Structure 1
Amino acid sequence: MMELAFWATFINIFIGLMAIVNPVGILPIFLSITNDQTPEERQKTGTTACIAVGIILLVSMLAGSGILKTFSISLDSFRVAGGILVMLIAYSQLQAKGSKIKHTEEEDRESVQKDNVSVVPLALPIMAGPGSISSIILWANESPTISHKVATAFAIVALAIVAAAIFRAAPFINKLLGITGLNVVTRIMGLILFAIGIELMASGLKGLFPALTYLPSVTAN
């Protein structure tokens, strides 16, 4: 039973992270900011960025509850805020646009002038932005069990590995899918992300206002 719960947690969090980080959707940005690099340098940049993302999210997972306690923020309040943030990012993805919550045009222009773009801005804030960091804090605190924490950590590591593989194959994937294909993937991820945001916000509102749990459901006649 514990094994089933472990893998269910792992899969849910992994899919959620893939939707938020959306490594396929950011391939055009990745190729743009590594345009002047050799294939070997581009692969090194992608791998370094994914390692950095893994570290950032693992630290967020471990330190998240302490940060919330420090600022006296309840988990339910953070769920509502995180849900709204995730839905805003999802809305941009549904339009196949880059979210300015993750990164702005000014940051993109600045990144072109940098020699090393693997950590800033690629890892932070393009990949590990406010949406993924807030979501991982929420998911990590859904259960106090060690099994849940380990499953969350495994999902983060799996995301980093898959994202690194996607970046390694970036030119091929970009050529195969084209702009239309990448936009389709981005919109699908946006739809999944929007649903995740609604679930987070609904869960937070029920925690803040328990009376909402007892409202009668409306069914069609």
Structure 2
Amino acid sequence: MDNLITFSITVFTGFFAITNPISNLTVFLSLTQGEDKATKQDINKRANFIAFIIVTVFIILGKYIFELFNISIPAFKITGGILIFFIGFEMLQSKKSNVKNIKNVDEDENIAVSPLAIPILAGPGTIVTAMNFVANAAPLKIFLVIAIFGFMSVLTYITFSLSNFVVRMVGNNVISVIGKIMGLIIAIIGTGMVIQGIKISFNLITQ
């Protein structure tokens, strides 16, 4: 039981750091600027639902993807860890992807799907993090990962719904600081994945 609790806390921390709903609410506001409240809520709902479906598919089919492309768990952990580390490093350096800096979005484009659901909410970092948690995991842990990401999707939905209020109360400077803290956590998670992958490669720990 203690192992499951520790695992759940680790998964929640990883998802919270990589999805970072507090930091991403400013992105949501910029992408939905000028839309009425009903439209914003519709975009919010669809974006989080689509992100949940995408990540869930990768969680469930992760092992089959490994087998199909003959990907070893150590190689995935090391590569994924490096990718996640650089995502966290860029957040620490206050660098934002071009997607998050979009100022003008084509009105014909469904922003709930892109860029909001993909890649902001369900980007490579989120998918890699999710698949890392379920790599060689028991069915119960796979279910826990899906449930925790589902909870994160609900939390993100609520945060986006309160985006205007949160920005007024907290301020952009505090949100920026939170983003840097999340970046540090993400970098640490990535480093841990690399170390774990190396240990598994040299049989220093059991899988």
TM-score by structure 2 length? 0.92
**Among candidates 43, 58, 67, match of residue 56 of structure 2:** 58
Residue matched to 1:131:
125
Gap regions ≥5 residues in structure 1: 215-221
Residue matched to 1:187:
180
Question: Which whole-Å deviations, capped at 9, do the CAs of 1:43-65 have from their partners, x for residues lacking one?
Answer: 22112111111111110101111
Aligned partner letter, 2:47: A
1:73, CA displacement in angstroms? 1.1
Aligned partner letter, 1:74: S
DSSP 3-state at the match of 1:111 = coil
Whichever of the two has the greater Rg, that structure is 1
Gap regions ≥5 residues in structure 2: none
Contact 2:22 2:175 in 1 (8 A): yes
Residue matched to 1:45:
43
Aligned partner letter, 1:43: Q
Query: Number of matched residues?
Result: 205
% identity of equivalent residues = 29
Which structure 2 residues correspond to residues 140-179 of structure 1 after superposition, within 5 A?
A: 140-143=134-137, 145-179=138-172
Contact 1:19 1:193 in 2 (8 A): yes
1:167, CA displacement in angstroms? 0.4
Q: What is the rounded CA distance, in whole Å, between the counterparts of 2:23 and 2:100 in structure 1?
A: 16
Aligned partner letter, 1:86: I
1:142, CA displacement in angstroms? 4.5
Residue matched to 1:26:
24
Contact 1:10 1:154 in 2 (8 A): no
Residue matched to 2:90:
92
Q: What is the rounded CA distance, in whole Å, between the counterparts of 1:66 and 1:27 in structure 2?
A: 34
**Among candidates 116, 139, 151, match of residue 122 of structure 1:** 116
Residue matched to 1:8:
6
**Among candidates 47, 53, 65, match of residue 67 of structure 1:** 65
